[in-house]
Amino acid sequence: MSMTQRFKEEHDHLRALLDAYVDLMGPGTCPQIDEVMRRRLAFATAFRAHLASEGPELEGLRTGDAAHPVDRLLDDYGTRMRDIMPGYQALIRDWTPQRLEADWATYCRAARAQARRYLDFLAWEDAEILPLLDQHRDRVSRRSA
């Protein structure tokens, strides 16, 4: 399987995990808190694993020329990643199970907004980063071999 295909499948898996998480956030009262936390953790774990495999592959594409289009695109990737992380960290830090149950509607708004940021990031990666891997398949293949 190509690197591009593997990352596309990982993106699809991450989207499915986000959908399962957001599906819990309907109107009304908080569902089983254990299930909310389980789904939140499942996404977070999968996302970190994805970054751990994707990041080194992408960094290996750098040319060393900050003005080169590949390096600029990878800088944009890093900026976008840094932009979504504070929201994730706030969800984990600020929304304890007790607070989550006490203010379910506010949590749902915050969690759905964060999920939307992740989905937007994954869509951007699909459109911009995965084609970059295809264009530089020979460099990626040599490193992965």
pLDDT digits (tens, 9 = 90+) for 79-112: 999 999 998 899 889 999 999 989 999 999 999 9
Q: State the average pLDDT over residues 15-42.
A: 91
One-letter amino acid identity for 111?
A
- For residues 76 and 68, give the distance between their C-alpha atoms in angstroms, rounded to a whole number: 12
Longest dimension (CA), the chain: 53
Q: Is 68 left (phi over 0), alpha (psi -120 to 50) or beta?
A: beta
Would you state the pLDDT for residue 141? 47
Tokens of 63: 């040319």
Per the model's pLDDT, the better-predicted residue between 101 and 15 turns out to be 15
- Assign 30 to helix, strand or coil: coil
Q: Is 144 left (phi over 0), alpha (psi -120 to 50) or beta?
A: alpha
Confidence check: pLDDT of 145 > 50: no
Q: State the average pLDDT over residues 128-138.
A: 83
Q: Which of 27-31, 64-68, 121-125, 134-138 has the lowest mean pLDDT?
A: 134-138
Are the C-beta atoms of 118 and 84 separated by less than 8 Å?
yes
The domain segmentation of the chain, as residue ranges, is 3-144
Tokens of 110: 């915050």
Compute the mean pLDDT over every residue in the chain, rounded to the nearest whole number: 90
Would you state the pLDDT for residue 26? 80
Q: Which of 6-10, 11-15, 28-32, 137-141 has the lowest mean pLDDT?
A: 137-141
Would you state the pLDDT for residue 101? 87
Are the C-beta atoms of 33 and 24 separated by less than 8 Å?
no
Would you state the pLDDT for residue 139? 55
- For residues 18 and 25, give the distance between their C-alpha atoms in angstroms, rounded to a whole number: 11
- For residues 107 and 63, give the distance between their C-alpha atoms in angstroms, rounded to a whole number: 42
Predicted TM-score of the model (pTM): 0.88
Would you state the pLDDT for residue 116? 96
